Amino acid sequence: MSIRRSPVLGLTTVALDASVLINILILNRVAILARLPGYHFVVLDAVEQEIQRQEQQVVLADAVNENLIGRAGTATPEELAAFNEHRKMMGLGEAASLAAAEHRGWMLASDERGVFRRIACERIGESRILTTPSILSWAVKTGMIRVGELRDATAKLERNRFRMRPGTFDDLFSA
């Protein structure tokens, strides 16, 4: 299945999994998602339910109200069937995001590894998966954030238990 363009200005829709969304909320950088060229990020109800910290819920609600992030609409029966199948092997938000990406032709933003990553790659292909590091790299390359801000963001995420592979941003840090 090819990637479908969003009805929002012909942008590519990206379903946000909680793993990426929480990282962006930790960094207080939701505006990056709204300004990243070519993409329209959306959140599903199941993913919203996974946001447990009240301050993050408030920031997310504000981001949706300000149209920085969209809300995904109702699932088709085929998507619900995929969701139920995925739910046997993964969490609520992961299953919903993957099913939406798979059946709506969207991309997926997720930092999950292991079984989830393997299944996602099988179902939609690795080229349709964005991660927190890929989003932050793109933000630096497009001038939305500076390299120094990226260093600070990386340190903050690591303090919040998000580990990136060694050398993830070496090309940007050495530039």
Per domain, the residue ranges of the chain are: 12-145
pTM: 0.89
- Per-residue pLDDT, 75: 84
Supply 25's token pair.
């909320």
> Domain 12-145 belongs to what topology?
Rossmann fold (3.40.50)
Alpha helices (runs of H) in 36-72, residue ranges in sequence order:
45-48, 54-65
pLDDT value at residue 1: 46
CA torsion, points 6, 19, 127, 36, in degrees to nearest 10? Answer: 50
Higher pLDDT, 9 or 41: 41
